[in-house]
A and B are shown apart, each in its own frame.
Chain A
């Protein structure tokens, strides 16, 4: 429950009457170069990553911080080194660290010049398993165009989770990885062979889906939204589609950090907008704590559930184009304009391509 939604109402109402939203030029000319440390570790048997970068001018390209030494430190004194796998990206490969529930972890980063930063220790709690998932197709306000908020048809995901009775304060965060397959048409090949591509992306980057049982009546979270995906382009749903839902159990500090990032990310200029500010994370410079450092090193335990959606599931709920005659048919009718190239070459589809997952 927050006032932002009320603010949106005011904006919407007034926009419908006499108000207007328009783009204006803005350049602050300052604030670049602040260190940002983000990433985290979890209980899953997968690579753990930490990212070091600097703030950039609004809209500017990323500015990674390379050649740093990054170390994961356990409260018992054990430690493991991250490897710089690309500029500014540091990886602790799966199986390197045998983290344990109940222990606390933090990172220590030493930059090329010798300046040291570290995060506040956070405890790794056992994961909370979700009860079930759900979905519907609805409207989501996603962007501002020509000064007005625009809604899209979206595949909306929900979670049902019971908070443990013996855990008075539990903080959860959800991330969702969307994956779909797309198979080329046999007509494209003289041998009528087909190729199946697999794509995957993280849903809703920049928006944090979080909830605490402090804000939840009854101890059971029902129909809690955890992400959405646009129904367009239609080919995403023409075949099998998976949503892998990660339910993170995070610390209270991390919960507040994400909550604050949400607040400053969803400013809409209304009367109810809280005053924004820099969001401080849990990383600090060891020899000068008042230096501004951004980002957060998250220690979390994750429970994973996967949801499969096929085109038939959408029947009666959303009218998708028929792949062969509507979506790809354009290709045959109008070869020089407006066709969808992916029907014959799925590698041309502008989504992150992955290998076929083991669980598919």
Chain B
């Protein structure tokens, strides 16, 4: 019988009795058949590589009580094959002696020993015939919760000295040499699992863990820290839902974006405002993905809350340094949010009640072990607060939001899963029938995972996302004015992941996005007449990209991740393109003509070369140095001429006159863990230069403007800084402290006066905050009682301020303003506290509940969101600061689960 495993073949004839001597006569028999006869007749095992050429010469000869070794050597005496006798009945045939032969000898000895070793109650991984001749066996495994078969993330799997940590899918890979080991699985929520293990070769391992009252977080955290230290991805921050939920919160609402801002290098412009800034980048330079679908808006209530439901999230990864080649389209960072995989075994329900919003979440099997689903809903009911207010206009106002997530998983078999998900969110605010605004997101996605073979998988997805916003105003005569914009896109992508060898991981994929913007609609609806509509066409475009990436362990100390992404963008018709007089600024006056393009026709093409490189070099068992470089391209821009981005800003695609943003990101990090990885420290430096970032002419007219190129122009960007981070991740008292030095600068290089800012010198961007300190402490006093504290400090953001005053002839007083962003608003600092109390031992109760008491802004700091200037009649001008959350904000949240 010929058996092929792992690239090796051998004749396995060893089922017969072992005889002491060979006595046999062959006459004109082909050598392979002679060997076959000897093996089957005398219980021998004869191995050789497929590449070895076993001669088919005819053999004639006799053996009389000779040893197997003598017989085989006689048969092959005329060939170049060497015979290695591993034992008196195991032989290996090779054409090359030396190192390979020696290895094979060792291999066969190990294999024979393993085969014969008795292991009471032990697991066996791999088949003796699959045992690799060289190198380790690859164990691919999944760890699940025995109660509901949900993945267990963060569990440490140890096989001998090798270990790994499970990912969000509960998946791990361990490379270990064949042998006999102890298998150990440790998680902070589950009982420790121990088992003897015999490893022959590559195999799958699936284990279900049982929930436990024993916490073993230190080992888990230690393993995580060790893994982070070695991986060649610098600037990657990961947050679990558990970590997010431990943070003190505003109004008791666990918030993904606010949790991100506790990380070094991540900031917002204030309590309100859409989006966040990473390492000096603008809000539109962050790619936000939820289950692979891009999101343009991340906030509710103008940024007071994020639009992601933490209950439905499995984990959150922020790439702010090295960005793997599978991501693209933004030049600053990638936020990858993974939703939970719903429970396949049992239904769970959980929820939370807060003062202005509540949430419910459920998950469970539709068809047990086959199909499961989750659904999460958050909704506000803040109108009751408005009803309490004295102002009659506010009393008659309306403020609502909701978001809704649904995900359905169907598992055809292990490693073959189809996942469908949808997400909807909406914000609406109307002020006493006078004006209002709103924005909404609706998305669908389908994802298909398929393990093609051990170590190789395919992930394909397709999705559609629609983002719309509007604002309205009503005149004295009840005429309603409304401006609405929107951007939708269809996206399809496929990725192949292949663990080529224990030290090499390869990925390749392609992606396509078709943008479908809504034309900007300006509607005027008089009270008594029919509405009139104006449409301002927006740029249409398509984007495609392909990439490859290889992660390789070049040596035990050096890991490398190298990739290349090539992106292609083309502006598509229909469109009317203006032409401007050369040598003149783009204004209404310099228009020389227009050209119309038909639907679907190509207008302008851009492409991007995007190399990605990251290196991690271990300088010791608990230290490493990481270096990374990314080149990124961005074909979509947020048009916002306010100091803080808002959810009703306009998204604009690159076109003939608006070039893509291009950025080069560099980072260098030093990482050092202490006390057996219980403490993590790091110092990272980063630098980014970019071009074609958008800047605005003074008083740019951005609405009802089909030709935005007359109001905007391209500038250079430069960001640099350093992040110092110290974390204690182990023990009842945990926390971290970080300091970030960050500069975010811009420089205009326009030829025309309207396109020159601050005389062409570098100036601070709207979100330049040079200094930031974040501290977070979490103390688990008892199992049922913990408290946490967070302190934030950062520089005030830049501002253009009035520097002088002048008088016009008819009596008016007016301000003359400084250079762009020449001043700063006051520094920001705040302390938040929270206490979480659970009743009894929640692990033994089916109904689990906790109370969280939070105090936001504990020392009542009136931080400035903005500073503005007013002059009341006949009085000198005064500077005012607006504090959006200028009071202590206590909150109580009741969370439950059953």
A19 contacts B by Cβ under 8 Å: yes
Using CB atoms, name the residue of chain B closest to A151. Answer: B391
Contact among B394, B864, B879 with A16 in the assembled complex (CB-CB below 8 Å):
B394
Interface flags for B857-898 (1: CB within 8 Å of A; 0: not) read: 000001011111111110011111111111101000000000
B642 contacts A by Cβ under 8 Å: yes
Query: For residues 812 through 869 of chain B, which have their beta carbon under 8 Å from a beta carbon of chain A?
Result: 812-818, 820, 823, 826, 862, 864-869
CB <8 Å contact, B805 and A273: no
- B864 surroundings in chain A (CB, below 8 A): 24
A25 contacts B by Cβ under 8 Å: yes
A323 contacts B by Cβ under 8 Å: no
- List 28 contacting pairs A-B, 8 Å CB cutoff, sorted by A: A13-B386, A13-B394, A16-B394, A18-B884, A18-B887, A19-B883, A19-B885, A19-B886, A21-B880, A21-B883, A22-B881, A26-B867, A26-B869, A31-B804, A31-B816, A32-B804, A34-B806, A38-B807, A51-B807, A89-B809, A144-B872, A217-B526, A218-B529, A265-B814, A267-B870, A272-B646, A274-B642, A275-B643
CB <8 Å contact, B884 and A19: yes
Interface flags for A235-276 (1: CB within 8 Å of B; 0: not) read: 000000000000000000000100111011101111111111
A76 contacts B by Cβ under 8 Å: no
CB <8 Å contact, B818 and A31: yes
B75 contacts A by Cβ under 8 Å: no
Query: For residues 207 through 224 of chain A, which have their beta carbon under 8 Å from a beta carbon of chain B?
Result: 207, 217-218, 222-224
CB <8 Å contact, B885 and A51: no
A269 to B389, CA, bound (A): 22
Interface flags for B293-307 (1: CB within 8 Å of A; 0: not) read: 000000000110000
CB <8 Å contact, B826 and A24: yes
A244 to B522, CA, bound (A): 35
B699 contacts A by Cβ under 8 Å: yes
CB <8 Å contact, B643 and A24: no
9-residue interface stretch from A54-62, A97-105, A332-340, A341-349: A54-62
A107 contacts B by Cβ under 8 Å: no
9-residue interface stretch from A4-12, A184-192, A301-309: A4-12
- A175 surroundings in chain B (CB, below 8 A): 810
CB <8 Å contact, B816 and A26: no
A271 to B437, CA, bound (A): 13
CB <8 Å contact, B876 and A58: yes
Using CB atoms, name the residue of chain A closest to B756. Answer: A290
B435 contacts A by Cβ under 8 Å: yes
B110 contacts A by Cβ under 8 Å: no
B57 contacts A by Cβ under 8 Å: no
- B643 surroundings in chain A (CB, below 8 A): 273, 275
Q: How far is the CB of A109 from chain B (nearest CB, A)?
A: 13
Query: For residues 630 through 673 of chain B, which have their beta carbon under 8 Å from a beta carbon of chain A?
Result: 641-644, 646, 648
Residue numbers of A with Cβ under 8 A of B are 1-3, 5-6, 9-14, 16-26, 28, 30-32, 34, 36, 38-39, 49-51, 53-60, 62, 89, 142-145, 147, 158, 175, 202, 205-207, 217-218, 222-225, 256, 259-261, 263-265, 267-280, 290, 294-296
A207 to B873, CA, bound (A): 11
Query: For residues 238 through 279 of chain B, which have their beta carbon under 8 Å from a beta carbon of chain A?
Result: 272-273
CB <8 Å contact, B394 and A271: no
A207 to B872, CA, bound (A): 12
Using CB atoms, name the residue of chain A closest to B809. Answer: A51
CB <8 Å contact, B698 and A271: no
- B431 surroundings in chain A (CB, below 8 A): 6, 9, 13
CB <8 Å contact, B699 and A36: no
CB <8 Å contact, A59 and B877: yes
9-residue interface stretch from B12-20, B47-55, B320-328, B475-483: B475-483
CB <8 Å contact, A6 and B865: no
Q: How far is the CB of A255 from chain B (nearest CB, A)?
A: 12
A224 to B476, CA, bound (A): 8
- Given contact pairs A16-B391, A56-B804, A269-B880, enumerate 7 new A-B contacts (beta carbons under 8 Å): A1-B481, A3-B648, A30-B818, A34-B816, A38-B809, A147-B880, A206-B811
CB <8 Å contact, A18 and B886: yes
The interface on chain B, measured as residues whose beta carbon lies within 8 A of the other chain's beta carbons, has a size of 87
B524 contacts A by Cβ under 8 Å: yes
Using CB atoms, name the residue of chain B closest to A32. Answer: B804
B310 contacts A by Cβ under 8 Å: no
- B646 surroundings in chain A (CB, below 8 A): 271-272
- A26 surroundings in chain B (CB, below 8 A): 801, 867, 869, 879
CB <8 Å contact, A290 and B753: yes
B429 contacts A by Cβ under 8 Å: yes
CB <8 Å contact, B804 and A276: no
- B479 surroundings in chain A (CB, below 8 A): 217
Contact among B393, B805, B811 with A56 in the assembled complex (CB-CB below 8 Å):
B805
- A267 surroundings in chain B (CB, below 8 A): 868-870
CB <8 Å contact, A18 and B868: no
Q: How far is the CB of B604 from chain A (nearest CB, A)?
A: 29
- B389 surroundings in chain A (CB, below 8 A): 16
Contact among B397, B524, B885 with A13 in the assembled complex (CB-CB below 8 Å):
B397
Query: For residues 432 through 448 of chain B, which have their beta carbon under 8 Å from a beta carbon of chain A?
Result: 434-437
- A280 surroundings in chain B (CB, below 8 A): 698
- A53 surroundings in chain B (CB, below 8 A): 806-807
CB <8 Å contact, A271 and B273: yes
CB <8 Å contact, B879 and A39: no
- B642 surroundings in chain A (CB, below 8 A): 271-275
- B877 surroundings in chain A (CB, below 8 A): 58-59
CB <8 Å contact, A277 and B879: no
- A6 surroundings in chain B (CB, below 8 A): 431, 435-437, 471, 473
Q: How far is the CB of B489 from chain A (nearest CB, A)?
A: 26
A202 to B812, CA, bound (A): 10
Using CB atoms, name the residue of chain A closest to B887. Answer: A18
Contact among A263, A269, A290 with B882 in the assembled complex (CB-CB below 8 Å):
A269
Contact among B272, B399, B866 with A273 in the assembled complex (CB-CB below 8 Å):
B866
Contact among B805, B807, B812 with A207 in the assembled complex (CB-CB below 8 Å):
B812
B592 contacts A by Cβ under 8 Å: no
**Leading 6 A-B pairs by shortest Cβ distance:** A31-B803, A59-B876, A206-B812, A26-B879, A269-B882, A205-B811
Q: How far is the CB of A159 from chain B (nearest CB, A)?
A: 11
Q: Which of B644, B646, B806, B868 lies at the interface centre, i.e. has the most chain A CB atoms within 10 A of its CB?
A: B806
Q: Known: A23-B878, A217-B479, A264-B817. Contact between A271 and B302, CB under 8 A? A: yes
Q: Known: A22-B862, A28-B823, A144-B872. Contact between A276 and B816, CB under 8 A? A: no
- B532 surroundings in chain A (CB, below 8 A): 217-218
Using CB atoms, name the residue of chain B closest to A36. Answer: B806
Interface flags for B746-771 (1: CB within 8 Å of A; 0: not) read: 00000001000000000000100000
Q: Which of A3, A224, A261, A275 lies at the interface centre, i.e. has the most chain B CB atoms within 10 A of its CB?
A: A275
B800 contacts A by Cβ under 8 Å: yes
A188 to B434, CA, bound (A): 49
CB <8 Å contact, B889 and A34: no
CB <8 Å contact, A275 and B435: no
Q: How far is the CB of B380 from chain A (nearest CB, A)?
A: 13
Using CB atoms, name the residue of chain B closest to A267. Answer: B868
A276 to B864, CA, bound (A): 18
B686 contacts A by Cβ under 8 Å: no
CB <8 Å contact, A20 and B641: no
CB <8 Å contact, A269 and B881: yes
CB <8 Å contact, A271 and B272: yes
CB <8 Å contact, A5 and B699: no
Q: How far is the CB of B387 from chain A (nearest CB, A)?
A: 12
Using CB atoms, name the residue of chain B closest to A295. Answer: B808
B214 contacts A by Cβ under 8 Å: no
CB <8 Å contact, B881 and A275: no
Q: How far is the CB of B649 from chain A (nearest CB, A)?
A: 10
Q: How far is the CB of A284 from chain B (nearest CB, A)?
A: 11
CB <8 Å contact, A223 and B815: no
CB <8 Å contact, B810 and A55: no
- A51 surroundings in chain B (CB, below 8 A): 807-809
- B481 surroundings in chain A (CB, below 8 A): 1
- B393 surroundings in chain A (CB, below 8 A): 12
A267 to B879, CA, bound (A): 11
Contact among A224, A269, A278 with B865 in the assembled complex (CB-CB below 8 Å):
A269
Using CB atoms, name the residue of chain A closest to B483. Answer: A1
